[in-house]
Chain A
Amino acid sequence: MSAIERLIDLLAAKYRWGLHPIKMFAALLAPALIVWLADWRLRVLAKPIEEEEARIRRLPRIRRR
């Protein structure tokens, strides 16, 4: 049994199942990670369009020069 498994067993014995802090930590972290990951992916996907729009906005200035 590894040290991490022993630690988890120790905590599981100390805390009741319903109030297990590790379970609660995972439950709180999971939605935050999912939302963060989706937001990052959306920003990555939307970036080329934003850059293109910025380039188009710059066009008249280039023409003036």
Chain B
Amino acid sequence: MYAGHAAVALALKPREPRLPILYLVLAAFGPDWLELLLMIPAPRAGSAMFTHSIPAVLIGASVAAALFRATGRRGGRTLFLAWLLHWPADLLTGRKPLLFGEQLVGFGLYGSPAVDFALESVVVVIGCALYARMFPSRGDLRRVIVILGAALIAMQAAVDVALAVMRDSEWTPSFAVVGRRSHPHPLREDERAVAACLHFAPRTHYTRERWRWTVHEAS
């Protein structure tokens, strides 16, 4: 998620009106800033494991909240929440690691830029609406908030256009790339005999492996 993170910061601002919005936005983008820091020496694959996995997000949020609390100001809990909400937001649009492992999980809406744009626009509108409740309902104030929302949506549109044009992307959510079938494929004649033999065999890991091996060999 891109503009959506800023919208999360806007939505959290009324919880702690004295907390500067800049800190909230920085915390909402916190894992991305960490990823950028890790990229500076040399770009490497798999750095998301140290910035965007659940343990990394928890550690990052705790450190950010503790550092802010050390300054003696209130709002550490809101900063913690802003950092933490990065993970569920990225779960919708990208594919991020769950734990310190290779497997990436997520709906991967970046692969479908139009849907991503629609989702993030809705998040921005909701964030701006919650943020607007902090201020009196006056025309000049409303105008600034509308411009803010429009600017965030325009930035998101630029990102989604770039995604659509440059990558020629295809929607591949993590659940689609895992090698599972929703239903068994029909057996051929020569496979049926093997299946019948193995039907009564104990269902151990070894049996399953043998079945897979036998079927592959038969085909």
Residues of A within 8 A of B (CB): 15-16, 19, 21, 24-25, 27-28, 30-32, 34-36, 38-39, 41-42, 45-46, 49
Residues of A near B145 (CB, < 8 A) are 38, 42
Q: With contacts A27-B2, A38-B145 known, is A32 near B151, CB below 8 A?
A: no
Q: Chain B: interface residue count, which band?
A: 20 to 34
- Rounded to whole angstroms, the CA-CA distance of A27 and B9 in the bound complex is 16
Residues of B near A25 (CB, < 8 A) are 36
- Rounded to whole angstroms, the CA-CA distance of A28 and B151 in the bound complex is 14
The answer to whether the Cβ of B115 comes within 8 Å of any Cβ in the partner chain is: no
B2 touches A19 (CB 8 A): no
Residues of B near A46 (CB, < 8 A) are 135-136, 141
Q: With contacts A42-B145, A45-B140 known, is A34 near B151, CB below 8 A?
A: yes
Q: Which 3 A-B pairs have the closest CB atoms?
A: A38-B148, A19-B43, A31-B6
Residues of A near B39 (CB, < 8 A) are 15, 19, 21, 24
Given contacts A16-B43, A42-B135, A42-B145, 11 further A-B pairs with CB under 8 A are A21-B36, A28-B29, A31-B5, A32-B25, A34-B6, A35-B10, A35-B21, A35-B22, A35-B25, A41-B144, A45-B140
Which residue of B22, B43, B159 is within 8 Å of A36 (Cβ)?
A: B22
- Rounded to whole angstroms, the CA-CA distance of A45 and B140 in the bound complex is 8
